[in-house]
Amino acid sequence: MSSSRRIVIAVFPDVDLLDVTGPAEVFALANRETGGRAGYLVQLAGPSSGVVTTSAGVRLIADLSFDSFTGPDGGGVLDTVLVPGAVDLHPDGPVARIDQDVVAWVKTVAPQARRVASVCVGAHLLAAAGLLDGKRATTHWSTAAQLAADHPAVTVDPDPIFVRSGKVWTGAGISACMDLALALVAEDLGEQVALAVARQLVMYLKRQGGQSQFSVPLSRPAASRRDIEELRTYIAEHLDHDLSAAALAGRMSLSARHFARVFRQETGTGPAAYVEAARVEAARRLLEGTDLPLEQVAAGSGFGSVETLHRALRKQLDTTPAAYRRRFRTTTS
């Protein structure tokens, strides 16, 4: 389809299975959540078309060969090229494998694509192809030192869950492929679609180093009571409303004392702490993904004032809004 967003994922012997299937599932759910409006078309490309055995022993079928991208049509129109990775286990720990077939393919297709992204140790392949020189990038924490040593022209930051540098994205380790794919969906279709996909995946996410990842409300265990689960959704969608314990108790038609006890039993935290965490999460997304002034970030996340926003981020993340934005921003500078 000419209107589709064509995503081609590299596959090769011993590739990490989740690095391939995780993003593919995110894009498939985005199609479903939008009734097909997202238009994602996911294809696999390998050294040859046909069977590729992953590190898990599960076999995948490559739709296309790498050579098919060097023909007259260059493999067709590309939206996104996604490069997963593979590791070899050494006595001192995992070492990212540099598959020269993949490196050569990346050099061929990168100029054709709107964006290029790596998953986990796939960053080493992008670096070997010269795509990360002069850029900031991340990878799995266990191979970050290897990436920095092998490619001194790359600024390696092992902390963020993903990094965007122009048209090139790099993601951190293993399950972070889901966060990266959600970020790509958010860029294409907006935060609300990405959040809807995250809810379908029931993702319980914590950013490495203590920074919360996509959707703090989903980082809590699911409630057994439907009314509490519905209240959590209400909180996430009405952060600028009165979400005091008294107001929430009134919404549940419970006494404040009984509501607080039930809410803590179902979520593991008190109402005030939960609301503050949800507002911090909303502020985090705005700081990462927009250039809005702090007054608008505070208003949009329900804090009301920049001073309150400062206090909350200092309390929960031990940082300031400006420092957080400098470190974790995902918009193109």
Q: How far apart are CA 297 and CA 327, in angstroms?
A: 17
List Cα–Cα distances, 42 to 6, 121, 172, 252, in angstroms.
Answer: 6, 21, 21, 44
Where do we find the tokens 């589709």? 4
Residue of 30, 81, 120, 275 with catalytic role: 120
Q: DSSP letter at 38?
A: T
Classified as helix, coil or strand, 286 is helix
Which of 306, 301, 304 lies closest to 281, judged by CA?
301
Contacts of 112 (CB under 8 A, 6+ apart): 69, 74, 75, 77, 78
What is the distance between the alpha carbons of residues 249 and 255, in angstroms, rounded to a whole number?
6
Contact 54, 87 (CB under 8 A): no
Around Cβ 234, how many Cβ atoms within 10 Å?
13
Residue 177 falls in the annotated catalytic set: no
Q: What's the half-sphere exposure (Cβ side, CA atoms, 13 Å) at 81?
A: 31
Question: Catalytic residue numbers?
Answer: 120
